[in-house]
Amino acid sequence: MKKIVALAALAFIAAHASAADKTWYIGGDISSSQFKAEGEKERKTGFGATLGYSLNENVAFELQARRMGKWKEDGVSITANAIHASVLGIAPITKEFSLFGRLGMSRNSLDLSQGNATYSLHKSKALFGFGGDYAFDKNLSLRAEYVNLGSNKIGTGTDSVNVKIQQFNVGLNYAF
């Protein structure tokens, strides 16, 4: 039954996509990433790059690469990165302004180094988010959004900790 519903949804999208303006776009943003573990919160400034494809005015697909933050603690250098693939459901409010919801997958990575020793941790997690987009003209738009990258378990057994990651992003997109 789930396969039939999924195939029907894809057929509906494909039928409507043939008459729509398909558009590629790129974007860049700055972000405030929040890492929360065991009641402690840490915020870092990051940045991201987006490659997107607008199937029609209501559906878009995006790939994103993000640097979520970098810091040093007790001689250990830590870098947090992510790669996202997601689909956006878009609701145009006016000609210039639209709201959107995001669903996708994220490959979150945490790279630690101390002296000559390095350690990398990678977790794939579902992501969701929502935001708004304001189009200055046909090609240039301003976007603001919230994205939840899930709870990422670091360590094993009793030595593990769950780190919840959230982002607030503001950036520009250029369609061509």
One-letter amino acid at 147 equals: V
Q: Looking at the domain assignment, is residue 8 inside a domain? A: no
Q: Dihedral of the CA atoms 138, 148, 123, 34 (nearest 10)?
A: 110
Category of 149 on φ-ψ map: left (φ > 0), alpha (ψ -120 to 50) or beta: alpha
Q: Looking at the domain assignment, is residue 16 inside a domain? A: no
* Residue 69 belongs to domain spanning: 22-175
Domains of the chain: total: 1
Residues 79-105: pLDDT tens digits?
999 999 999 999 999 999 999 999 999
pLDDT at 158 over 80: no
pLDDT at residue 151, rounded to an integer: 86
Residues 114-124: pLDDT tens digits?
888 888 888 89
Residues 10-19: pLDDT tens digits?
545 554 444 4
Q: Looking at the domain assignment, is residue 56 inside a domain? A: yes
CATH code for position 108: 2.40.160.20
